[in-house]
A and B are shown apart, each in its own frame.
Chain A
């Protein structure tokens, strides 16, 4: 009557390469790198003006403000959150900067004011998400309207244009001027302040995310928030800090944009939040959380920025550029999955 108790292991270990995830990530970065090379090559062939250092330097100022905010957005999406109020914070911060400028403050104070306004907005978002426990997408859709609406109510259809020259110089001149060394291929390129800030921040973010304990905690939260709590990771505090960071960088972006444009209206940076999310997703940060790299986001920023710049050099209208970036995003996300399915499905 009695049968022997099944003792054999019920589980079979599915043998996979141990760092499969790393391999996928690497492949994503490689795809972006190829895209970047292709973009540069095609543009250089099509237009003789593309590889001009001044043109390229100007091109970077068109995407650097977004790119700076994309760094914070990448961390938020990594931990399964999102901040859709960033563009509205840009406008709100730029407006307060405008009033401060009219009151006679100089450039350093104006930048501090912008970042300060951003931090306040970020604290508000972070409080609602982590203390009141509302989903971040709902909260930031709400604050997107709230911050933008506030700007519109206060400003109406007015524009703020009285910024001090010192402030405007930071946005409109090259922070590092073009320096020739006499040797043909050796020179220091002109670099606008916004792009320099992006480069420095990208390096810092990359090191923090990939080389420090805090970075590992962020991956842990994105990978499994429940396990993260059980591991003693202060999940909510970190998420709160990320929202504040996102607000601060949006405020900084607002200051840089106001300095570059020399004026602001309430519709400033309208719709940028989705451009920024696009950069992050194209950079390989998973909406599901726990997967992504700063290198990926960095490459995606360059690809998107140079594609847009190259197309505008060739007088291709903005709508077509938008079609192209949309197709690019879907292709980059879909291709690895289609290959994966083909490989597994046989």
Chain B
């Protein structure tokens, strides 16, 4: 513990317009230590990391690397001073071999060093050996398994022997065996004296690795300490698990359209280039049913919803009331009554709240539209007071409510809600939660909800699907979730 702090962050604050993404965060990482920076999605941990490495310029606070103040420096100078970063998504040079990709990270910064010396390649080989890439040195990145691409990212990050190494979502997309070897690699880095900051949304995945954990929520520090302390911490438990889960599921047998459900998805496959985003996904939703699709970031929820909405090409079948949806344009599907409230709150930011709603209700006659707007204002009272404000100046929570309201304005038979809770404060969640409950009890609407926040997803579901790595891995009533698969969460 007496080692000098390699990375020392204090008072770090980053604002984006009206959003305080990171608020007065401070921690230290010593040489030969692993600190886990955790928090649910949207808690500001990625922003904190970007502020440290200079990708984002912090609004206030100090970042010291080995005693040198670097807050506000451009990222390449911070990197040169000794900060390496392992990105979650690797963007290799596709026409260069693994060895060449690593060598690139070793090339001199100065334009005056035109010729690279022989030792560079030798050093690249040594680094590759250290991370276990020796067998694939001459291959192109596109031919590598995902785990090796992550290794290559590590190799590039440690190429210049940085004092501090930041790892973003270290285990995302890795199998459990790969996770083990990757953890071993990170441990070796620590033991050779690097200060390591792991950023992850999941306490559990960094538990075995981190010496200390720093937990964030909505931009603020909520807990700090050893893994055991943080996992026991009441605030952390509340953030991840909420209070006691109360579910009010209706039995599947209660729905009238048992044989031909309102929506039936069968063996859906979606590819983005070579990457498979959905693999043999089958599910169904009854008329009036609330179904949640639960899964972590990147599991394929948005892809599934976009396929249903007609936004991405797919193989397999999607039926609405027994008739295939394939071949219909996205606009036709939306007007036909399957309306998606997209992730990330796609609004017409230049238009006022009222104009956004009118855009949703453009096909309604004036009287119906007026009635519907009144009803939406009773569902989301805050929107009524903000009618004339332009949508871009609303807070995140209000924007989310407006996105949902605009979708409801279209009078949908089925509402697809993609990650409505992303990055929102608990107060707002409660309001959206109440609105959903009101929908369930007072309207015949069908809802398909995509969430990684289980606390939010379960109470509003009659049935739950768990999507993991592009596949459905569990289906059942929310009451059975905790016992059967809940352990894999948190």
Q: Which residues of A contact B (CB under 8 A)?
A: 1-16, 18-21, 213, 216-217, 219-220, 223-224, 226-237, 290-291
Q: Which of B280-324 contact A (CB under 8 A)?
A: 309, 311
Task: Write out, one digit per residue, whether chain B residues 310-349 have a CB within 8 A of any chain A CB (1) or not (0).
Answer: 0100000000000000000111101100011110001111
Closest residue to A213 on the B side, CB-wise?
B362
Is there an interface contact between B388 and A19, defined as CB atoms closer than 8 Å?
Answer: yes
Is there an interface contact between A232 and B20, defined as CB atoms closer than 8 Å?
Answer: no
Interface size class of B (residues with CB under 8 A): 35 or more
List 4 additional A-B contacts (Cβ < 8 Å) besides A13-B395, A216-B355, A231-B362: A219-B350, A219-B351, A230-B339, A230-B346
Top-5 shortest CB links A-B: A11-B395, A232-B334, A227-B346, A2-B234, A232-B335
Closest residue to B337 on the A side, CB-wise?
A232
Is there an interface contact between A18 and B426, defined as CB atoms closer than 8 Å?
Answer: no
Q: Which of B55-63, B68-76, B159-167, B225-233 lies at the interface with chain A?
A: B225-233
Chain A interface mostly:
loop
Q: Quick one: given A18-B388, A236-B329, A290-B350, are A8 and B362 in contact (CB under 8 Å)?
A: no
Chain A residues near B425 (CB, 8 Å)? 6-11
Q: How far is the CB of B337 from chain A (nearest CB, A)?
A: 10
Chain B residues near A10 (CB, 8 Å)? 19-20, 23, 218-219, 396, 425
Closest residue to B425 on the A side, CB-wise?
A10
Q: How far is the CB of A275 from chain B (nearest CB, A)?
A: 28
Q: Quick one: given A223-B350, A229-B330, are A3 and B407 in contact (CB under 8 Å)?
A: no
Asked whether any CB of chain A lies closer than 8 Å to the CB of B360, the reply is yes
Q: How far is the CB of A2 from chain B (nearest CB, A)?
A: 4
Q: Quick one: given A19-B390, A236-B329, are A12 and B222 in contact (CB under 8 Å)?
A: no
Chain A residues near B18 (CB, 8 Å)? 11-14
Chain A residues near B465 (CB, 8 Å)? none
Closest residue to A291 on the B side, CB-wise?
B350
Is there an interface contact between B407 and A13, defined as CB atoms closer than 8 Å?
Answer: no
Is there an interface contact between B396 and A11, defined as CB atoms closer than 8 Å?
Answer: yes
Residue from the list A3, A15, A219, A228 in contact with B235, Cβ < 8 A: A3
Is there an interface contact between B397 and A9, defined as CB atoms closer than 8 Å?
Answer: yes
Asked whether any CB of chain A lies closer than 8 Å to the CB of B359, the reply is yes
The CA-CA distance from A226 to B348 in the complex, in Å, is 10
Is there an interface contact between B331 and A233, defined as CB atoms closer than 8 Å?
Answer: yes
Residue from the list B219, B239, B360 in contact with A231, Cβ < 8 A: B360
Is there an interface contact between B363 and A232, defined as CB atoms closer than 8 Å?
Answer: yes
Q: How far is the CB of B451 from chain A (nearest CB, A)?
A: 18
Closest residue to B331 on the A side, CB-wise?
A234
Asked whether any CB of chain A lies closer than 8 Å to the CB of B279, the reply is no
Asked whether any CB of chain A lies closer than 8 Å to the CB of B171, the reply is no
Closest residue to B342 on the A side, CB-wise?
A230
Q: Quick one: given A229-B331, A230-B339, are A1 and B232 in contact (CB under 8 Å)?
A: yes
Chain B residues near A7 (CB, 8 Å)? 425-427
The CA-CA distance from A223 to B391 in the complex, in Å, is 12
Is there an interface contact between B339 and A5, defined as CB atoms closer than 8 Å?
Answer: no
Is there an interface contact between A20 and B390, defined as CB atoms closer than 8 Å?
Answer: yes
Complex A-B: 19 CB contacts under 8 Å = A1-B232, A2-B223, A5-B222, A9-B427, A10-B23, A11-B19, A12-B395, A20-B390, A213-B362, A216-B362, A223-B351, A224-B346, A226-B346, A229-B330, A230-B340, A231-B360, A237-B331, A290-B348, A290-B350
The CA-CA distance from A95 to B18 in the complex, in Å, is 58
Task: Write out, one digit per residue, whether chain B residues 343-384 have a CB within 8 A of any chain A CB (1) or not (0).
Answer: 000111111100100111011000000000000000000000
Asked whether any CB of chain A lies closer than 8 Å to the CB of B463, the reply is no
Q: Looking at A3, A15, A213, which has the most chain B CB atoms within 10 Å of its CB? A: A3
Asked whether any CB of chain A lies closer than 8 Å to the CB of B155, the reply is no
Q: Quick one: given A12-B18, A231-B410, are A5 and B217 in contact (CB under 8 Å)?
A: yes
Chain A residues near B351 (CB, 8 Å)? 219-220, 223
The CA-CA distance from A220 to B311 in the complex, in Å, is 18
Q: How far is the CB of B393 from chain A (nearest CB, A)?
A: 6
